Amino acid sequence: MVAFFTRRRCLASALALMTLGTSRLAAANALYGGEDEEYFDPALLPPAESEIDFPIEKVNLRIIAKRFRRQIVDFEGPEALGTIIVEPENRFLYYVIEQGQAIRYGVGVGRAGFAWSGNAIVGMKRRWPRWVPPRSMVDRDSNARRWINGQPGGPDNPLGARALYLFSNGADTLYRIHGTNEPATIGKAVSSGCIRMLNEDVAHLFELAEVGTPVIVRPSHDGGQQNESTVHHQ
């Protein structure tokens, strides 16, 4: 596995926050890199996933280039059946379904300086997951400040309908494959490091990819650079 995550100011995983006990406020602030105890209160976190299973609205495919629409394609890679492969440069995600074939989805990827690459597995899955912005985003984005203690899952949430949480060496990488509330961004490099998909596509992949599914994200031209302020999902 490639070790590709060195960030002091990232969110802890939902499970970690749930086990912080009476000292969890101080611990959470330390994870955020802040000393202000009023910055973040994990007691106010919404549920990890919505209790409502919202319907997934169909996207008008006229806004999605044909090459980024879900389709079965020939695939010549050596990866085993059931592997997820992401090609950021081409804005494609593949799920290998049989020898020589894969389902190809269009994706949005990290913009310059926010891209990443490496090997991981799907360590956790969530339906209509919550979103928690990191302090770095809150400090520079007044809209993110509104969700300082987390935005509940739902149609307006940036993580969209589903999220696959990527783990490496048993630890949450804080990177996700997730849906989006901005379908027109598919095929573009606009995210803060994660891989975004149409909600109907990520829901399709969600049903195929079990926990433990291997994930390979190939390098892009910028070398898959890391940035401690990139991760903004939980």
Q: Locate the DSSP E strands across 56-155.
A: 71-74, 84-87, 92-98, 101-106, 109-110, 118-127
From 178, 204, 232, 233, active-site residue: 178
Is residue 10 part of the annotated active site? The answer reads no
Task: Return the number of other C-beta atoms located less than 10 Å from residue 44's C-beta.
Answer: 9
Residue 130 pairs in a beta bridge with none
From 194, 204, 232, 233, active-site residue: 194
Q: Largest Cα–Cα distance of the chain, in whole Å? A: 54
Residue 163 pairs in a beta bridge with 126, 178
Q: Which helix (H) or strand (E) holds 191?
A: strand 189-191
**39 burial via Cβ count (<10 Å: 0-12, 13-18, 19+):** middle
Assess contact for 218 and 86: CB atoms under 8 A: yes
Rounded distance between C-alpha atoms, residue 164 and residue 141, angstroms: 25
Task: List the catalytic residues.
Answer: 178, 194
